[in-house]
Copies of this chain bind each other. A is one copy, B any other.
């Protein structure tokens, strides 16, 4: 497995593979790899001839006071994990190389970025869109793999790819969970023992909401109140950032649940902000 930190050799490697007729898959990550990432890599490995993983803890998608400093960094373990899953090359640039030209350019999709996670993280999605566009230009793969846990991110990237005509297919893969239901996340490593015990309440609250919606289609605000009550009881150390029920395509809040909806929430345990979501009512698990 190659580990490449410079932009031009990375692009050249991809272009050689494509010229040889290979299908190239890309799994973009911030590092801190876990089974969620490895499920994306495994899927790419099954569907593509060549699998590239980018590991870049992109500073521009973290706001002031967010957990950039606390984000798990474990490059050796990440590289070993990639190697064991059959990755062909890891792209691991530093921020100086990625933003050498000043980084004045910003890509925004206001319409999808001002709700859910974007409400408390206004600079997050512009940072994500911009770095993902950069990665697509550096690693011009045929397919890129993202996780459904970051539903809003996946939807926004799909919209960007469509709007800007990037010649890449976005594949969204199901959320991978711990046995107790907690969605895999690099940030789980930053939970205290007590917080880790409470964290499965996020998924449990979503399951409860899905069950209620399936049974009685209550108004969205009733479902939200029930989720908040569940979280308050089962995750008392968590501070709710949002609980929303939205249209899966537009992310606009909905009032009624008798239709496909996305139930999404974010809860902070100290600096570790956990998110989870569930599509309810017959819609597929992918945006």
Q: Total interface residues on A, using CB and 8 Å? A: 30
| Copies held by the complex | 2
Q: Determine which residue in A106, A112, A138, A167 has the highest number of CB atoms from chain B within 10 A of its CB, and name it.
A: A106
Give CA–CA (A11, B166) in the complex, Å.
11
- Contact indicator A106/B107 (Cβ below 8 Å): yes
A108: chain B residues within 8 A (beta carbon)? 105-106, 108
Whether the Cβ atoms of A107 and B105 lie closer than 8 Å is yes
Q: Once the chains are docked, how many angstroms separate the CA of A105 from the CA of B133? A: 12
How far is B167's CA from A19's CA once the two chains are assembled, in angstroms? Answer: 16
Partner of A102, one of B105, B163, B165: B163
B106→A110 contact, CB < 8 A: yes
A63 smallest CB distance to B (angstroms): 18
* Complex partner residue of A106 from B109, B134, B165, CB under 8 angstroms: B109
Additional A-B contact list (4), CB under 8 Å, known A106-B108, A134-B165, A137-B164: A104-B109, A104-B111, A105-B108, A107-B164
